[in-house]
């Protein structure tokens, strides 16, 4: 037998209780009893136990006929001692916690103002080992009338089916779970204790599933015990069923959700929501594809397998869905369907009649062209290209690299070969082949070569002199056209990287046009400067960059652009100095590292090209050390053509003090855009 707890409650001593008679004598001192008055001054000891003695102290206690304790009345005949000042008695086993009433002869009863409490040892002998939700748990022991409540985990039961000194019965809550019980005692400071063993709350069990292999929306029978406790059945795949066709303690019948997959069920108990996972599993019968015939787009493919009559729709790779209404035919073992024009090879997906999605383990394939090689491997624009491969007769048109326009006219076409003229705008890249169905495939990268020019020297070059063109793929060139209309088709030398030719008398300064063997024209980014031999620059101020020691200081009065790294309108090298003025007196400032940079030279030389459509003007001026300015030396700017400008240094006057700033000033109409390439001294 186990003591579950002890409830310790205090006996409050020195309590004075007055009768109604005492109240009628309100003029008397409360501590001085009148004749015939019964007063209870105190009772104790604190923490009395059943079977132990308790004393009541007061006045006129000889008038007390009995003492009524909660649960039992003790007549004066059972008092151990009874005087006018003292009553002694033994606490009966039936006594409970509560207020005490002194039964007075011929007068009003006296009721204590405080509670009588006990130190009560409650013991438990046994507890029902297992019960169903809603069933009865029986607890046996002693002093069980002092039990206030029973706890099932966090569920507290205060209502008892029955309660005696030696036995209590409580109903198991519907949502109770297996676990230890907690016995709570009453009183102001109750204690509690858990049972040593868990009380088993009965759960449903499964013995079999019928049938074990089943289709969606068919009826499944779950056999077992205590199945009436089930509130919900969870299927693998996420389908939950709480509405059953039938339910008893031994069987549940229900429909299989359309989302169910293979695996074990989960039974959820009512109330407690405890989940039970049986070992039995179900197998969902689904359509299975075992083979797919390979055909071309828009041709009929045959799909074979099992339960194919339960397929609602098929989704081909490329996310193209065909509904069963559009199948050519459908049986349990075969589906015939036309391959959509844009279907790609890959994974086939399909849905059952219940909208369950399935992915085929057998991949879908469609006959597509394959490109194995190009001849020649490297081709020029306007050249004839031979494409070799298989199923090439399916190709409707070709999109070459660098183009959006499709080529649909072929020189000839068969299943293994296509011959086509390469468009003049084609670039190296991956050709795209569009099939007659509209489906697009890509071939290997095709290399398309064009002549490129890296430099043209010398600059300038006089008519009748030799011009050297350096670059790559120059053996593709059959003719060079100059600005002005002059054409040269006979070269002094021609290699992969160089052409040397004589400049015609009618040639003019400007870009060259290279004509390939396939009559493709390529315009150079560089210009051929045709004219008299240029004066030699002995010391550069600008040659693709400012010379060492020189600095770009900025400008004022409307300088919009002063780009030392400009890559357009280049005469020589890779860069030119671009200038744009928006102010009539706009000025650029260059700072020489050496104030005497001009010593030993006679001329300032610069090559200038106008960026507008009309000729314009600019000027050079020096700011001398000390702050004085030289005169401005104007020069002409020819639109669209590089010209050489030579300014005698003597025209600036005496510059022996040294040059502090090199100024390039606008002297023409605005806006004024021009290019300088190069700038220096001779």
Q: SS3 for 327-339, per residue?
A: CCEECCCEEEEEC
Measured CA to CA, the distance from residue 130 to residue 177 in angstroms comes to: 11
Cβ-contact 616, 668 below 8 angstroms: yes
**Which token pair is 510?**
């400007």
* 5 vs 159, residue with greater confidence: 159
Query: What's the mean pLDDT in 438-452?
Result: 94
Measured CA to CA, the distance from residue 399 to residue 513 in angstroms comes to: 27
Query: What's the mean pLDDT in 132-155?
Result: 89
- How confident is the model at residue 532, as a pLDDT? 64
- How confident is the model at residue 272, as a pLDDT? 84
- How confident is the model at residue 412, as a pLDDT? 96
Cβ-contact 605, 654 below 8 angstroms: no
Burial 641-657 (b: 16+ CB within 10 A, else e): bbbbbebebeebeebee
3-state secondary structure of 651: helix
Q: What is the DSSP letter of 629?
A: B
Cβ-contact 185, 193 below 8 angstroms: no
**Which token pair is 131?**
């019960």
Looking only at the bridges linking them, the beta strands covering 633-637 and 200-201 are unpaired
- How confident is the model at residue 186, as a pLDDT? 65
Cβ-contact 356, 333 below 8 angstroms: no
**Which token pair is 505?**
């008398």
Global pTM value: 0.47
- Dihedrals φ, ψ of 77, to 5°? -65, -25
**For the chain, what is the mean pLDDT?**
89
- How confident is the model at residue 20, as a pLDDT? 32
pLDDT tens digits for 576-604?
999 999 999 999 999 999 999 999 999 99
Task: Grade residue 27 by pLDDT with cuts at 50, 70 and 90.
Answer: very low
- Dihedrals φ, ψ of 229, to 5°? -85, -5
Task: Name 515's bridge partners.
Answer: 479, 521
Measured CA to CA, the distance from residue 179 to residue 154 in angstroms comes to: 11
Task: State yes or no: pLDDT of 188 exceeds 70.
Answer: no
Tokens 């695996």, located at residue: 263
Cβ-contact 666, 585 below 8 angstroms: yes
Task: State yes or no: pLDDT of 14 exceeds 70.
Answer: no
Task: Grade residue 13 by pLDDT with cuts at 50, 70 and 90.
Answer: very low
Among the listed residues 252, 249, 201, the one whose alpha carbon sits nearest the alpha carbon of residue 226: 249
Task: State yes or no: pLDDT of 647 exceeds 70.
Answer: yes
Query: What's the mean pLDDT in 430-445?
Result: 94
Among the listed residues 316, 362, 363, the one whose alpha carbon sits nearest the alpha carbon of residue 342: 316
- How confident is the model at residue 181, as a pLDDT? 92
Q: How far is CA 11 from CA 58, 76, 98, 102, 188, in A?
A: 16, 22, 11, 16, 12
How is 258-324 classified by DSSP, letter by letter?
TT--SEE-EEEETTT--EE--S-EEEE---EEEEE--B-TTSEEEEEEESGGGEEEEEETTTEEEEG
**Which token pair is 82?**
């009874």
Query: What's the mean pLDDT in 276-283?
Result: 94
pLDDT tens digits for 41-70?
888 776 667 788 899 999 999 999 999 998
Query: What's the mean pLDDT in 181-186?
Result: 83
Task: Grade residue 391 by pLDDT with cuts at 50, 70 and 90.
Answer: very high
- How confident is the model at residue 95, as a pLDDT? 82
pLDDT tens digits for 542-554?
999 999 999 999 8
Measured CA to CA, the distance from residue 66 to residue 101 in angstroms comes to: 9
* 286 vs 4, residue with greater confidence: 286
Task: State yes or no: pLDDT of 1 exceeds 70.
Answer: no
* 502 vs 239, residue with greater confidence: 502
Measured CA to CA, the distance from residue 646 to residue 638 in angstroms comes to: 14
Among the listed residues 44, 31, 196, 193, the one whose alpha carbon sits nearest the alpha carbon of residue 112: 44
- How confident is the model at residue 35, as a pLDDT? 61
Task: State yes or no: pLDDT of 5 exceeds 80.
Answer: no
- How confident is the model at residue 533, as a pLDDT? 59
Task: Grade residue 189 by pLDDT with cuts at 50, 70 and 90.
Answer: low
Task: State yes or no: pLDDT of 32 exceeds 60.
Answer: no
Burial 442-477 (b: 16+ CB within 10 A, else e): ebeebebbbbebeebeebbbebeeebebbbebbebb
Share of the chain above pLDDT 90, in %: 72
Tokens 């079999």, located at residue: 208
Dihedral sign for Cα 26, 28, 30, 35, please. Answer: negative
Measured CA to CA, the distance from residue 658 to residue 594 in angstroms comes to: 8
- How confident is the model at residue 460, as a pLDDT? 82
* 114 vs 402, residue with greater confidence: 402
Phi-psi region of 497 (alpha: psi -120 to 50; beta: other; left: phi over 0): alpha
- How confident is the model at residue 17, as a pLDDT? 36
- How confident is the model at residue 471, as a pLDDT? 96
- Dihedrals φ, ψ of 415, to 5°? -65, -25
Task: State yes or no: pLDDT of 8 exceeds 50.
Answer: no
């Amino acid at each position: 037998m186990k003591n579950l707890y002890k409830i310790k409650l205090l006996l409050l001593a020195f309590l004075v209780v007055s009768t109604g008679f005492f109240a009628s004598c309100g003029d008397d001192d409360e501590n001085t009893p009148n004749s015939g008055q019964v007063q209870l001054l105190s009772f104790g000891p604190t923490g009395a136990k059943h079977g132990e003695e308790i004393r009541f102290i007061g006045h006129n206690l000889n008038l007390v006929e009995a003492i009524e304790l909660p649960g039992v009345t003790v007549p004066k005949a059972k008092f151990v001692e009874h005087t006018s000042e003292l009553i002694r008695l033994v606490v009966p086993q039936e006594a409970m916690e509560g207020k005490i009433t002194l039964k007075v002869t011929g007068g009003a009863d006296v009721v204590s103002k405080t509670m009588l409490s006990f130190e009560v040892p409650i013991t438990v002998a046994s507890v029902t080992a297992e019960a169903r939700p809603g069933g009865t748990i029986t607890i046996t022991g002693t002093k069980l009338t002092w039990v206030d409540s029973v706890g099932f985990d966090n569920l507290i039961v205060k209502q008892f089916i029955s309660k005696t000194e030696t036995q209590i019965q409580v109903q198991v809550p519907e949502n109770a779970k297996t676990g230890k019980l907690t016995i709570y005692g009453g009183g102001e400071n109750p204690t509690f204790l858990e049972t040593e063993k868990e009380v088993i709350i009965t759960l449903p069990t499964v013995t079999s599933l019928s049938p074990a292999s089943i289709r969606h929306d068919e009826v499944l029978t779950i056999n077992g015990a205590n199945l009436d406790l089930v509130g919900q059945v969870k299927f693998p795949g996420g389908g939950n069923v709480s509405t059953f066709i039938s339910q008893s303690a031994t069987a549940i019948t229900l429909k299989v959700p359309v989302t169910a997959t293979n695996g074990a069920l989960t039974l959820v108990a009512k109330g407690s929501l405890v989940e039970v996972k049986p070992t039995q599993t179900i197998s969902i019968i689904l359509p299975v594809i075992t083979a797919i015939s390979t055909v071309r787009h828009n041709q009929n493919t045959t799909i074979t397998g099992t339960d194919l009559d339960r397929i609602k729709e098929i989704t081909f790779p490329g996310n193209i869905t065909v509904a069963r209404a559009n199948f050519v035919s459908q049986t349990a073992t075969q589906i015939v369907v036309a391959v959509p024009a844009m279907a790609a090879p890959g994974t086939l997906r399909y849905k059952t009649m219940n909208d369950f999605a399935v992915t085929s383990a057998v991949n879908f394939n469609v006959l597509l062209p394959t490109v194995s090689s190009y001849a020649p491997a490297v081709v020029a624009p306007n050249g004839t290209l031979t494409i070799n491969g298989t199923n090439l007769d399916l190709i409707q048109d070709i999109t070459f690299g660098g183009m959006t326009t499709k080529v649909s006219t072929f020189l000839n076409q068969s299943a293994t070969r296509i011959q086509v003229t390469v468009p003049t705008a084609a670039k190296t890249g991956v050709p795209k082949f569009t099939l007659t169905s509209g489906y697009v495939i890509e071939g290997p990268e095709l290399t398309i070569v064009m002549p490129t020019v890296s430099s043209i020297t010398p600059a300038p070059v006089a008519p009748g002199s030799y011009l050297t063109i350096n670059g790559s793929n120059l053996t593709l060139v059959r003719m060079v056209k100059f600005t002005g209309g002059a054409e040269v088709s006979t070269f002094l030398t021609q290699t992969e990287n160089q052409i040397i030719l004589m400049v015609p008398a009618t040639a003019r300064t400007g870009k060259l046009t290279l004509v390939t063997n396939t009559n493709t024209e390529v315009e150079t980014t560089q210009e051929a400067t045709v004219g008299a031999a240029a004066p030699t620059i002995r010391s550069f101020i600008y040659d693709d960059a400012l010379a060492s020691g020189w600095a770009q200081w900025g400008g004022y009065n409307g300088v919009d652009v002063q780009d030392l790294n400009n890559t357009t309108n280049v005469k020589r090298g890779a860069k030119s100095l671009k200038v744009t003025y928006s102010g009539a007196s706009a000025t650029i400032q260059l700072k020489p590292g050496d104030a005497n940079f001009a010593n030993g030279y006679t001329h300032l030389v610069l090559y200038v090209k106008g960026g507008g459509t009309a000729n314009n003007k600019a000027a050079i001026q020096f700011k001398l050390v000390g702050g004085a300015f030289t005169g401005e030396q104007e020069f002409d700017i020819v639109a669209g053509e590089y010209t050489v400008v030579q300014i005698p240094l003597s025209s600036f006057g005496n510059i022996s003090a040294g040059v502090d700033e090199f100024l390039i000033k606008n002297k023409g109409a605005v806006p004024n855009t021009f290019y300088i390439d190069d700038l220096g001294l001779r």
